[in-house]
Amino acid sequence: MPTHPVTVHATPPHNTAKDLIQYITENRDGLEDALLRNGALKFRGFALHTAEDVEEVALALDPKLASGEYLGTSPRDALTRHVHSASELPGFYPIPQHCEMSFLANPPSRLYFACLLPSRWGGETPLCDFRLVWRDLDLDVRNRLERKGIRVVRNYAGPATRRSFDPSALKRWDAMFGTRDHQKIEEICGREGMTAEWLPDDKLRLTCEPSVMRLHPQTGEPVYFCHLQVFQVDTPEAELRRVRNLRRSAHARFWHTIGRLVTHANKRFKRPTERAMDVTHADGTPIASADVEHVRDVIWRHMVVEPWQLGDFVVIDNLSTSHGRLPYAGPRTVVVAWS
């Protein structure tokens, strides 16, 4: 059975951001226990209108929120010191389930999402308990992935790179690291277990070999903890196919066709190390497509999909529980902070 977030509903008129902070302060121990057990908490019905409101509540839960450095792959805009837009990726594209920055040596431990404007349709942020995913993965697949390891490659253009039209391109390396200083970037990479390789035309290739599973630092539970099925070359087709099967709409069928073409083009015309993102076994051999498909199947079986409501505030234990995003249309404002 999928694990749903523990939900706390506001009781009007006690539903302001201040009321939520007071509730958190008075119930801190119980909330910590529930977060550890279920992997996510949801606060619903509180009047959170701005990024500043969200920051205030998140700081009440966690005074050590991160600021400045975001080494993930989504394009994000900073809205306040600690709060960013969740992702500026176009709405048609589904973001596969992932624990935030799982490929870093020091990934965030908690995420704080809030909805300041729900989309007209779609745009859910599904959650998935990655402890259950690890438990339910076929033992042969698990053993193969652990024994052969994985290697993640990401390619970035730089400020002096010639412009190209590549819809799958990641943001520029100076935008990701917030600096153009090569030495500083190499220091950050060293700290986070990544190798930085400077390439002609001002490009940067990041390579790392993260583990597939990590033990939860507080409970010791094993957690599927990697971006394997996010970075693998079949991802656009495979995720859009599952979205098509979930939605059964003409829009979803159309985008699945596009996903097939994009996946085909990536396989046909780009060498693995030159794709925006790629993942192989640690020795560079491809991971069997059937193994990655199996991982996706288990994840989708445990995914919890709930529509956003205005003012929803969701806390995620990033070391046990993943998140993603389903396609949407129209305006949508979901913001995030992390620690």
Query: Using CB under 5 A as the criterion, which residues of the chain lie in contact with Fe ion when the complex forms?
Result: 100
Min CB(313)–Fe ion separation in Å? 16
Nearest distance from C-beta of residue 196 to Fe ion, angstroms = 22
Q: Which is nearer to Fe ion, 75 or 158 (CB)?
A: 75
**CA 322 – CA 225 distance, rounded (Å):** 9
What letter does residue 47 receive in the DSSP assignment? B
Residue with smaller CB distance to Fe ion, 100 or 192? 100
DSSP 182: H
CB atoms within 10 A of CB 179: 13
For Fe ion, give the closer residue by CB, 20 or 228: 228
Nearest approach, Cβ of residue 268 and Fe ion (Å): 29
Distances (CA, A) of 332 to 22, 119, 132, 144, 156: 28, 5, 30, 40, 27
Residue 323 CB, shortest distance to Fe ion, in Å, is: 6
Pairing of strands 213-215, 121-122: unpaired
CB of 100 to Fe ion, least distance (A): 5
By DSSP bridging, strand 121-122 and strand 328-329 are antiparallel
**List of residues 6+ apart from 293 with CB closer than 8 A:** 234, 238
Sequence-separated (6 or more) residues with CB below 8 Å from residue 111: 100, 315, 316, 318, 323, 336, 337, 338
Structure-token match 């201040």, residue found: 18
Q: Which of residues 100 and 234 has its CB atom nearest to Fe ion in the complex? A: 100
Minimum CB distance to Fe ion smaller for 100 or for 239: 100
**Smallest gap from residue 326 Cβ to Fe ion (A):** 13
Looking at the Cβ atoms of 101 and 185, the one nearer to Fe ion is: 101
> Could you tell me the two tokens for 286?
């491809």
Closest separation between CB of residue 73 and Fe ion, Å? 8
Please state, in angstroms and as integers, the Cα–Cα distance from residue 228 to each residue in 95, 141, 299, 302, 317, following that order: 13, 13, 12, 17, 20
Instruction: State which residue, 24 or 336, has the beta carbon closest to Fe ion.
Output: 336
Mapped onto helix, strand or coil, the DSSP state of residue 229 is helix
Give 100 or 174: the residue with its C-beta nearer to Fe ion: 100
| Cβ atoms within 10 Å, residue 271 | 7
Query: Which residue is nearest to Fe ion, using beta carbons?
Result: 100
d(CA 125, CA 322) in angstroms, rounded, equals 10
Kindly state the smallest distance separating residue 249's Cβ from Fe ion, in Å: 25
